[in-house]
Chain A
């Protein structure tokens, strides 16, 4: 009897303490659904997908990071003007061509090894050596050669500058320059794979605020807080579960019913309706330095004629696209003043839907009866590109341009871009670093990078872009930016449509969600109450 009673007491005690423990763990756990998850735990690995940016952002530290700011609508965004320390306690220009970083002395990797300048040097050497995207991204900040990186002592790291480049410091705060546990990875490196990429893409070698607790590719990723993290205030969430749910309808149902806390990167229709429904919080932030546009291959007749391009720009159904394709979850990029007033990008172009003007320009160009052409779209983003193409097709038909639509499968889109033979296409491009000259360097410059899909080449514009990249005088910089934006309007190789929103829907108790340029979630700032 006595034993039974004791057993009963124990059971009750267990039950009563188990319930709050479970409730508490739900409060400190964030459940996230995404369309498709990461394929790598290391951004340096070949083929690491965009979801991996978010993983490395949370499990690795970088030397520097960015502060946050409150947007006019009350939502939070990172602040590209406020660069702040992360693993580096402080940094300064110790010479004209040299930056010195002073590392935190108490920071440790997840396995307990202290983080030293040697690890930083090894990680930096790695990212400029592995090739592909990481190397490319670092080159954008003039970080190119291993000789540039010097480990002075255990906690002092130095970067020698090849040239004075205003993007060098901001480029150290993007997801690529992570600090990896060099000794740990070296144990798993092989002759064929000297940088241990095969191992680090499946294993956590970081010292960031979160550790990888478990990972089933294509299914779910579980992150657990690293309690010894020193590079910032300890995050509130103890655990983050990211589950892949491919069906957009189900992701929406899950967050509406409160079974998950956050659904990320929503289709515009869902975000509009969820916001209206009022059951969840929807936060939309315009994606910085990004633009959806209709592009024209300027090397291909008849689009080599600037009047034809202007005619197309006047014939686009701008407002219809805003209403029927993106459901208002975007900033219109049309109907602006004729000359740029500010040195920002993107900004509204002077074009508007004006069929009379379009017809007149087309006649002046020598095509009073129009012509036939093909609109190319990326099927990988079909929910946006397909309705847009149909609207554009219908609208161009009104001025006699008979367009057919060619849907290029997502996997082939980049190859199609590299070929540069599309006469008319609809696409988007976004730059991580929020500078107009950075965007133009990729999208308009005569170097003809892959994102200059139009093959637009204008030596005058190149001169301005090149000058502005290294310009130190604010006034001169402003004039240069306005100068090349104006050329982009007049020559109109691409007709801007809208600046897209990054939408996230979350439970009302989720606090601290912040927009980041890399379009992944920073779990360190999020809490639930």
Chain B
């Protein structure tokens, strides 16, 4: 265990410079963007004078180093500024929206895993068979159809034509009330507080967007499972295991899959962080109040504070995610633990 603790600590320390760099780079980049927030927010009948007035109010008339110091001071107190587009503190916005994105992404990922692992294993055990071809077709289709297209298509079929899915208008339909916030995940919160009607409503809203995301994540996961399984299945220890008369299931799951999982977990981590970003389009299609659409809206309006807050949050999440994957490695493969 101490090995694990020191690994975590070393990882965290190692992440500090990258986070500091993210803070500086986002600050400079957002300022370098063409576009003038003062002009944007001055409103429909502004003249040059009122634009200047807004600029002064936003503190944008001060030199950049002064603005940067003020930003650092706010950050130190845990404040990320106020978003002009929502009018709320950025930290509150992100806290409210991040769970929506994470919940959606996790559900999409779970769906993708549930399909891609068995599919990849099946394809690897019977290369060249119809299962293998099916796996190839599904993953090619999943990755080549843009998410906004699959999203709209699913809405069109399951909501507009068939009427099976609920209206694509966010995390809950209009008549359900949100559960008391504990984790921010509606599924979890509604279960904890025992609001089963809310749970059902939230789950129903999740199905289509999670499916859309899952389809997209299917391809890399299936391909990686298949390739990695193929490699493992061809190796000596599997032949030995088979020769030793172990059952097919034991060979496949205990010996082959466990060894093949390592690259899959790496891919999983990459897919997860990628999906968090790729969420934007799904969020737009399903009116999902997530963090991706928030960041895009802020970017379009040159609203600095939320963009900086978003990138910073994402950077911290990536660091955390990488850490988790390293730990997972250790659990799956003892060799990693010893080397660390």
A residues adjacent to B (C-beta < 8 A): 31, 33, 36, 39-40, 45-50, 131-133, 135-137, 140, 201-202, 216-220, 241, 243-247, 249-250, 253-254, 256-257, 259-260, 380, 409-412, 414-415, 418, 442, 449-450
Contacts and interface: CB of A to CB of B under 8 A. Distances in A.
Contacts of A409: 34-35, 300
Given A250-B285, A410-B300, A217 B39 contact: no
Given A133-B50, A243-B174, A246-B287, A442 B45 contact: yes
Contact of B93 (A202, A217, A244, A414): A217
B86 A259 contact: no
B73 interface: no
A415 B54 CA distance: 13
Nearest to A31: B174
B87 A39 contact: yes
- State the 9 A-B residue pairs at the shortest beta-carbon distance, nearest first: A133-B43, A47-B41, A217-B86, A414-B39, A415-B36, A411-B35, A245-B287, A259-B167, A219-B289
B163 A257 contact: yes
Contacts of B289: 216, 218-219, 244
A49 B84 CA distance: 9
Contacts of B93: 217-218
B43 A132 contact: yes
11 contacts: A46-B58, A131-B57, A137-B45, A201-B87, A217-B88, A244-B170, A245-B287, A250-B169, A253-B160, A257-B163, A260-B174
A181 to B, nearest CB: 19
Contact of A48 (B35, B43, B96, B287): B43
Nearest to A40: B87
A412 B36 contact: yes
Contacts of A216: 96, 289
Given A216-B289, A246-B284, A247-B285, A49 B85 contact: yes
Interface stretch (B135-143, B151-159, B326-334): B151-159
Contacts of A39: 84-87
Contacts of B41: 46-47
A250 B169 CA distance: 8
Interface residues of B, number: 50
B274 to A, nearest CB: 22
Interface in B280-324: 284-287, 289, 293-294, 297, 300-302
Contacts, number: 150
Nearest to A442: B45
Given A253-B160, A414-B36, A47 B84 contact: yes
Contacts of B57: 46, 131
Nearest to B88: A217
Interface in B83-142: 84-88, 93, 96-97
Given A253-B160, A414-B39, A418-B51, 6 more contacts: A216-B96, A241-B174, A243-B174, A249-B155, A411-B301, A412-B34
B40 interface: yes
B50 A132 contact: yes
Contacts of B174: 31, 241, 243, 260
Contacts of A412: 34-36, 302
Nearest to A244: B287
Interface string B41-71: 1111111101101100110000000000000
Contacts of B40: 47, 411, 414-415
Contacts of B294: 218
Given A246-B293, A254-B167, A132 B58 contact: no
B96 A418 contact: no
B168 A132 contact: no
Contacts of A33: 169
A131 B53 contact: yes
A48 B45 CA distance: 13
Contacts of B43: 47-48, 132-133, 136
Contacts of A250: 155, 168-169, 285-287
A277 to B, nearest CB: 12
B152 A243 contact: no
A39 B45 CA distance: 18
B33 to A, nearest CB: 8
Contact of A414 (B34, B42, B87, B88): B42
B202 to A, nearest CB: 14
B35 A36 contact: no
Nearest to A241: B174
Nearest to B296: A246
Contacts of A253: 155-156, 159-160, 168
Contacts of B45: 133, 136-137, 140, 442
Given A36-B297, A136-B45, A246-B287, A415 B39 contact: yes
A135 B156 contact: no
A145 B33 CA distance: 38
A126 B51 CA distance: 19
A243 B36 contact: no
Contacts of B88: 202, 217
A246 B96 CA distance: 18
B287 A257 contact: no
A450 B48 contact: yes
Contacts of B284: 246-247
A450 B301 contact: no
Given A415-B39, A418-B39, A450 B155 contact: no
A133 B50 CA distance: 8
Interface string B249-265: 00000000000000000
Contacts of B34: 409, 412
B87 A247 contact: no
B46 A217 contact: no
B169 A254 contact: yes
Nearest to B178: A216
A410 B167 CA distance: 30
A77 B88 CA distance: 34
A50 B44 contact: yes
B287 A132 contact: no
A397 B51 CA distance: 37
Contacts of B302: 411-412
Interface string B153-183: 0011001100100011110001000000000
Interface in B1-56: 34-37, 39-48, 50-51, 53-54
Contact of B54 (A46, A220, A257): A46
Nearest to A253: B160
